[in-house]
């Protein structure tokens, strides 16, 4: 994040008191109650988390111990001895409590008329059928099932069916290309992959099954592929004895729609979800059943003041952690109605989200700053034509929301009255960690405000003091969590060294984000401090992108850094040294960008690819990426000391090339004609 952007963010001095309307019935109804909860949670965390687990979750057997901690190896087991099932908590218990005919899941397809609604009873029946079907494929407790699917009801149903039988689901974002899908299936050795014929997005059809077939040639663990007939495209190839249509599989079990839940130990793994890290290899984050589900319900209830009569819409894809916690497990465990949408906010017109809010009387709306900024660019008339009065809480997730977007969201969607819950959290944390209580916290546009009760967050280290705790109002440092919490990851799949890296530097969980605390104790998130880029709220590994570029025969060396982006928060800027006698050209740039899109996905496509003669390196050969980040962010005056470089003169050439590239002054250095479309996708 550029220094200019940080300065702008931290100079924000507007604030908004929580609304009075609705405060008396809120779960946390004022700052006094919030402060009391924080004090209680830190004074006696076992009592606090034990009480929350009892209030929110149905246990087949109560735990013996709230927390079993190995501080030396940073291993934390929550609710040891407890037995439960996530599918039971999200479905079965609501049948018992009288919500049988209440809407559990509403799905809106891309076409206006494509709508499906499942009551809790209907959802129970479908989940049981799929659980029975997976069992017939010899999937048992502890087996891995990969879900490479669009945003359709079958995705949520498959997740809950896996949870019902104790299988570990691994959701894979349908926008990933071959490399991203293959590495995730191979990484968990999935025995079954559930997919669809195609995804529908922005009026276009993207084949999924056809993309999957060549990938599975390198995934010997996969014994079965279940295919949902969603888009109805022709020519889907079904391999004999391996592939089966979803409807054919579950139709065999229509006469027996009940399937019992597998009793799960609280520390049995519920799901595995891969996130990008600094090594280029996706990090397989494992979440437990008891701790994760408790924290999902806890944070959903308090962050969004969730009530069981709410219609709640989290716009995130279930291929990301946000879709898991706040699309499925959080709202369904609380008995609310969750809304699922397959399309995009600007197609066919920029009013799509607001049309859905009005049609289904959505009460809580949770989306990303990237979406808000993209809709800001459209005329406000797109929002004014709809009745948004059903909304009572707005949310933001994925990256820091800039104050301008916050104000637009507050004014045009919230009518200048609704609280905005700006949440900071990660795949590894399982749920929101720093966020306002909507009826208890004064809001500052751009700040995630304060930690939730039970979360001990701090900022450690400055440029001069690497291990000191930063006081309020001090310089930025590393954002850490000093005490364990139930939603934290239980480990990294088959990579203990990677798991320990989260704790090794400071002796507690290090988020990899930089933050600053202002004089009021509010946290301001300043972006990544490791080798990841946050594009539209999605964390991407620079090393993974560099590896794809370096694999191209024309490339001798590549370095990837983040750059400020008005819409996405951060964009991707790539520096490339070509091999001898390879000419620089717009055609080569297109080829390199296509390679990244093919192997990782469109989300990882660089905004700019700059050809350079050489990288800025130390005498030992290490690339100084800090300088490359400064150049990509136009911070030439703060480039730092170049005397330590092996070839100091390369910096001037790179700066000149960067200026020419962004200005489009050289034909060989100009972006290809399809760049705007690539950036939007």
Element (H, E) at 135: helix 120-136
Cis amide leading into 390 (omega within 30): no
Provide mean pLDDT across the span 285-302. 98
47: in domain: no
Q: Is the pLDDT of residue 106 over 90?
A: yes
669: in domain: yes
CB 614 within 8 A of CB 628: no
Environment class of 665 (CB within 10 Å of its CB; exposed 0-12, middle 13-18, buried 19+) = exposed
Per residue in 586-608, pLDDT tens?
999 999 999 999 888 888 999 99
Q: Quickly tell me which residue has 């507007």 as its tokens.
A: 14
Strand, helix or coil for residue 510: strand
290: in domain: no
Please tell me which residue, 355 or 663, carries the higher pLDDT value: 355
606: in domain: yes
Q: Is the pLDDT of residue 9 over 70?
A: no
Pick from 106-115, 153-162, 367-376, 587-596: least confident: 367-376
CB 470 within 8 A of CB 477: yes
491: in domain: no
Q: Is the pLDDT of residue 476 over 60?
A: yes
How many domains in the chain? 1
> What is the Cα–Cα distance from 240 to 436, expressed in whole angstroms?
53
273: in domain: no
- Where in the sequence is the domain holding 595, given as residue range(s)? 532-680
Find all residues with CB under 8 Å of 656, minimum gap 6, and list them.
none
Of the candidates 1, 36, 7, 42, the residue with the CA atom closest to the CA atom of residue 458: 42
Task: Walk across the sheet containing 144-149 and list its strands.
Answer: 243-245, 224-228, 192-196, 144-149, 168-173, 269-275, 283-288, 491-492
Of the candidates 477, 481, 478, 406, the residue with the CA atom closest to the CA atom of residue 446: 406
Distances (CA, A) of 308 to 148, 248, 327, 335: 30, 34, 14, 5
Strand, helix or coil for residue 83: strand
351: in domain: no
- H helix intervals, 57-119: 86-87, 93-96
314: in domain: no
Give the angle 605-608-609 at the CA atoms, nearest 5°: 90
Q: Is the pLDDT of residue 450 over 90?
A: yes
Element (H, E) at 586: helix 586-599
CB 470 within 8 A of CB 514: no
Distances (CA, A) of 253 to 97, 129, 133, 152: 26, 6, 7, 21
In the predicted model, what is the mean pLDDT of the chain?
A: 89
409: confidence class by pLDDT, cuts 50, 70, 90: very high
Highest mean pLDDT among 270-279, 385-394, 581-590: 385-394
CB 634 within 8 A of CB 2: yes
> What is the Cα–Cα distance from 21 to 364, expressed in whole angstroms?
15
Domain harbouring 537, CATH code: 3.30.300.30
């Amino acid at each position: 994040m550029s220094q200019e952007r940080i300065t702008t963010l931290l100079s924000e001095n507007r604030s908004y008191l929580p609304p009075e309307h609705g405060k008396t019935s809120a779960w946390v109804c004022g700052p006094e109650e919030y402060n009391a909860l924080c004090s209680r949670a830190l004074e006696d965390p076992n009592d606090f988390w034990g009480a929350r687990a009892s209030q929110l979750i149905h246990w087949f057997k109560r735990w013996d111990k709230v927390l079993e901690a190995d501080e030396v190896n940073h291993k934390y087991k929550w609710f040891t001895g407890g037995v439960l099932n996530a599918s039971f908590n999200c479905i079965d218990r609501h049948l018992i409590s009288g919500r049988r005919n209440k809407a559990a899941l509403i799905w809106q397809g891309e076409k206006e008329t494509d709508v499906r609604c499942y009551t809790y009873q209907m959802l129970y029946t479908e989940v049981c059928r799929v659980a029975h079907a997976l069992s017939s494929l010899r999937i048992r407790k502890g087996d891995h099932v990969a879900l490479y699917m669009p945003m359709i009801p079958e995705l949520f149903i498959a997740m809950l069916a896996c949870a019902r039988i104790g299988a570990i689901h691994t959701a894979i974002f349908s926008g990933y290309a071959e490399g991203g899908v293959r590495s995730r299936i191979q990484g968990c050795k999935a025995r079954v992959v559930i997919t669809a014929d195609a995804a529908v997005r922005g009026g276009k059809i993207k084949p999924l099954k056809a993309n999957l077939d060549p990938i599975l040639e390198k995934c010997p663990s996969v014994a079965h592929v279940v295919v949902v007939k969603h888009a109805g495209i022709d020519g889907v190839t079904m391999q004999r004895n391996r592939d089966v249509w979803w409807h054919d599989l579950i139709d065999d079990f229509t006469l027996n729609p009940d399937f019992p839940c597998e009793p799960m130990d609280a520390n049995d793994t519920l799901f595995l979800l891969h996130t990008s890290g600094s090594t280029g290899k996706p990090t397989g984050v494992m979440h437990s059943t008891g701790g994760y589900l408790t924290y999902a319900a806890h944070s959903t209830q308090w962050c969004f003041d969730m009530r069981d009569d709410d219609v709640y819409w989290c716009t995130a894809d279930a291929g990301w952690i946000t879709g898991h916690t706040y699309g499925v497990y959080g709202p369904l465990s609380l008995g609310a109605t969750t809304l699922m949408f397959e399309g995009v906010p600007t197609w066919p017109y920029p009013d799509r989200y607001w049309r859905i809010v009005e049609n289904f009387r959505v009460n809580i709306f949770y989306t990303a700053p990237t979406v808000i900024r993209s809709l800001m660019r459209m005329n406000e008339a797109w929002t004014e034509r709809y009745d948004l009065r059903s909304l009572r809480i707005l949310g933001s997730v994925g990256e820091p929301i800039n104050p301008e977007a916050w104000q637009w969201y507050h004014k045009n969607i919230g009518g200048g009255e609704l609280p905005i819950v700006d949440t900071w959290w990660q795949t590894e944390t399982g749920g929101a960690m720093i966020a306002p209580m909507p009826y208890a916290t004064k809001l500052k546009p751009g700040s995630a405000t304060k930690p939730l009760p039970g979360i001990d967050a701090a900022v450690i280290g400055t440029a001069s003091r690497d291990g000191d705790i930063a006081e309020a109002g001090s310089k930025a440092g590393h954002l850490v969590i000093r005490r364990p919490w139930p939603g934290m990851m239980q480990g990294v799949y088959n990579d203990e060294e990677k798991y320990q890296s989260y704790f090794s530097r400071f002796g507690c969980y290090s988020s990899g984000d930089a933050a600053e605390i202002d004089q009021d104790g509010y946290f301001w998130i300043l972006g990544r401090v490791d080798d990841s880029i946050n594009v539209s709220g999605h964390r991407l590994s620079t090393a993974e992108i560099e590896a794809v570029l370096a694999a191209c025969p024309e490339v001798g060396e590549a370095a990837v850094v983040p750059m400020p982006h008005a819409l996405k928060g951060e964009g991707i800027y790539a520096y490339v040294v070509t091999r001898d006698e390879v000419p620089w050209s717009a055609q080569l740039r297109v080829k390199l960008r296509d390679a990244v899109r093919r192997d990782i996905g469109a989300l990882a496509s660089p905004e700019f690819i700059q050809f350079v003669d050489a990288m800025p390196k130390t005498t030992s050969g290490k690339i100084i990426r800090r300088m490359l980040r400064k150049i990509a962010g136009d911070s030439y005056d703060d480039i730092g000391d170049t005397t330590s470089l092996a070839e100091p003169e390369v910096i001037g050439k790179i700066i000149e090339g960067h200026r020419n590239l962004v200005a489009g002054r050289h034909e060989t250095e100009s972006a290809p004609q399809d760049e705007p479309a690539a950036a939007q996708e």
